[in-house]
């Protein structure tokens, strides 16, 4: 009997390989003092260590630039900034001088002190950066104490393994070789942690937030993990392994079929046309979206421009990026979401306030309207890009008409300013609202009357409706956009957009789920914005399931009393036209989705 552990999937894919525990930790540091005439020498040793560590981090930055891209390399700019932080180092120097402490003793004390503060903080961005702090702490102590660093063991891996750690630093993650590392599991970390971003970019299936992983997964035990659902099976049974093999074999055959429809329109058997657009988080996702036949971009996230950076991007930089995306999808619209800052996404240099609950606090459009020096350059960049591109603006987390009207007013002011300055730019551009809260659903008719389009962000709408943190592994089974309360709100928004005569779409992860796509089609959503890897499968579903049958299932879902009934209803319709083992493998191996390769099976 296998043991099932649940975490948060942060990098999709399935891996199967023996587990190797990564138990790097801080060394024991003695409370060593020095003579008064040695104090300046200890301070010199401290700064020499900072220089060595900074140089090593710069090497890692260049390696990341080559392997993953410029955006991911920016993570190490933030680490270098942390290693060289003047206030922190002044505190270490003061401790050395005041107490005649050795450099490693003083540094260890101040780093542990800072770690304790960050661990108690409810600001997610600080908790996410604990792994960065931990890595720098170890590197500094290693140099000051003449020891090897925490990544010295990497060169000893010579076979396919799944690494299990308490937490993963970006410095470790970027050095991993897919030839030898099939997957990653960590006890700490979230989807927005730096290590998660790098693992996703490098294509390593990863699950984070697996409580007790180091103790619960024996060294050498066979592990089967799903980086999409966050499921980890320890010592999978022969039946489970065979099921996974069969599923992957079937999926590979399906992928060959899906390749043939990339350029075909998404039209149901009874003639309903559905527009399938792509969700783009990072520049490297543009090519996969094009390859899979995305009809433009329904959600271009802009947070990568600021997350983990030491400074905000310039107006010119943003303009060129928006133009580049618009040119890539020539002939189609690109919907750009304004900065969704806050919660867990702030620039490193940005002084974010401490909040008891940041996801219910100062975030998204609230930050933008309070910080015109951040928001106005982005509005100008959008207007400049829209001069020769089909660029549209989408505003997240709107809960009142006042917020939407203020955005319209600022946009008009910036357009007038650009025109007066003789800068080539559009006079205006379509502004839509991202529906993410029950408040926005209730106001859907009013918001639709003053918007060019509506788009439902089902990730946050589900989170705020159900009061379930979507990044909390303990609550993973309670987070479901097929909950009747969410389903009924989706119907409300679609009806409001229809009454206003404006387009409406879904751009949350729900649209990438083949089962949920049947519901959305049945509710009348004929625009879906999807993660690029899921585009072919959703198109396959649309081309095989009649809209009339989807509508009947949606009506049943609207009166269902629980999410299990909703899913069963949708699966029944899907199963009439497609092999459920291919489009919804949840019933084959509990919790395991096999939407990619299985590198451990050779």
Check if 200 is active-site. no
Query: What distances in angstroms separate CA 163 from CA 16, 67, 225, one per listed residue?
Result: 11, 20, 11
Check if 483 is active-site. no
Of 42, 161, 58, 12, which Cα lies nearest the Cα of 108? 42
Tokens of 7: 């975490």
CA 545 to centroid of chain Cα atoms: 30
Q: String of b and e for 1-24 (b: at least 16 CB within 10 Å)? A: ebeebbbbbbbbbbbbbbbbbbeb
Pairs from 579-583 (Cβ < 8 Å, separation ≥ 24): 579/250, 581/247, 581/250, 582/250, 582/251, 582/254, 583/514, 583/515, 583/537, 583/540, 583/541
Tokens of 435: 């529906």
Query: What distances in angstroms separate CA 319 from CA 15, 71, 326, one per listed residue?
Result: 39, 16, 11
Tracing tokens 């020096």 back to the chain, one arrives at 373
Q: Of 56, 194, 292, 483, which one is the catalytic site residue? A: 194
Other CB atoms within 10 A of residue 213 CB: 24
Q: Which DSSP string corresponds to 157-217? A: --S-EEEEES---HHHHTT--TTTEEEEEESS--TTSHHHHHHHHHT--EEE--TTHHHHS
Q: How far apart are CA 302 and CA 318, in angstroms?
A: 9
Q: Of 16, 56, 368, 507, which one is the catalytic site residue? A: 507
> What is the set of active-site residues?
194, 507
């Amino acid at each position: 009997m296998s043991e099932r552990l649940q975490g948060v999937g942060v990098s999709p894919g399935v891996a199967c390989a023996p587990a190797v525990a990564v138990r790097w930790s801080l060394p024991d540091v003695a409370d060593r003092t020095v003579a008064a005439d040695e104090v300046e020498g200890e301070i010199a040793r401290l700064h020499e260590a900072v220089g060595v560590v900074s140089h090593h981090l710069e090497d890692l930055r260049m390696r990341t630039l080559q392997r993953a891209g410029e955006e991911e390399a920016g993570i190490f700019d933030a680490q270098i900034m942390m290693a060289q932080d003047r206030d922190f180092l002044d505190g270490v120097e003061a401790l050395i001088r005041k107490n005649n402490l050795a450099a490693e003793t003083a540094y260890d004390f101040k780093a542990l002190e800072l770690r304790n503060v960050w661990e108690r903080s409810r600001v997610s961005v600080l908790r996410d950066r604990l792994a960065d702090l931990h890595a720098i702490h170890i590197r500094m102590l290693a140099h000051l104490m003449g020891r090897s660093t925490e990544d010295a063991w990497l060169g000893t891996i010579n076979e396919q393994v799944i690494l299990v750690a308490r937490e993963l630093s970006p410095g470790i993650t970027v050095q991993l070789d897919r030839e030898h590392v099939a997957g990653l599991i960590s006890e700490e970390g979230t989807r927005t942690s730096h290590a998660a971003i790098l693992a996703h970019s490098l294509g390593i299936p990863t699950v984070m937030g697996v409580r007790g992983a180091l103790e619960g997964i024996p060294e050498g035990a066979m592990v089967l993990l799903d980086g999409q659902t966050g499921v980890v099976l320890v010592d999978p049974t022969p039946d489970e392994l065979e099921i996974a093999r069969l599923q992957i074999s079937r999926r590979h055959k399906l992928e060959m079929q899906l390749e043939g429809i990339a350029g075909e329109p998404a039209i149901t058997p009874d003639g309903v046309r559905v527009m399938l657009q792509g969700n783009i988080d990072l520049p490297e996702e543009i090519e996969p979206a094009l390859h899979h036949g995305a009809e433009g971009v329904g959600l271009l996230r802009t947070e990568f421009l600021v997350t983990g950076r030491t400074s905000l991007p310039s107006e010119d930089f943003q303009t060129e990026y928006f133009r580049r995306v618009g040119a890539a999808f020539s002939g189609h619209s690109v919907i750009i979401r304004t900065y969704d800052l806050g919660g867990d996404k702030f620039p490193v240099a940005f002084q974010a306030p401490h909040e008891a609950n940041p996801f219910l606090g100062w975030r998204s459009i609230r930050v933008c309207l309070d910080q015109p020096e951040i928001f106005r350059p982005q509005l100008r960049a959008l207007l400049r890009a829209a001069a020769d591109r089909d660029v549209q603006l989408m505003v997240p987390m709107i809960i009142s008409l006042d917020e939407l009207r203020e955005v319209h007013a600022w946009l008009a002011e910036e357009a007038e300013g650009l025109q007066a300055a003789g800068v080539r730019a559009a006079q205006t551009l379509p502004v839509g609202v991202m529906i993410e809260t029950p408040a926005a659903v209730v106001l859907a008719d009013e918001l639709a009357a003053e918007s060019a389009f509506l788009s439902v962000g089902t990730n946050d709408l589900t989170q705020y409706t159900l009061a379930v943190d979507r990044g909390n592994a303990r609550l993973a089974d309670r987070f479901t956009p097929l909950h009747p309360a969410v389903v009924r709100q989706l119907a409300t928004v679609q009806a409001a957009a229809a009454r206003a005569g404006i387009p409406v779409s879904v751009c949350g992860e729900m649209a990438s789920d083949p089962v949920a796509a049947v519901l959305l089609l049945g509710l009348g959503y004929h625009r879906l914005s999807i993660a690029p890897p899921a585009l072919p499968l959703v198109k396959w579903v649309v081309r095989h399931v009649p809209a009339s049958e989807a509508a009947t299932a949606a009506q049943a879902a609207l009166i269902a009393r629980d999410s299990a009934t909703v899913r069963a209803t949708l699966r029944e319709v899907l199963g009439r036209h497609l092999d459920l083992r291919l489009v919804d493998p949840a019933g084959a191996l509990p919790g395991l989705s096999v939407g990619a390769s299985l590198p451990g099976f050779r």
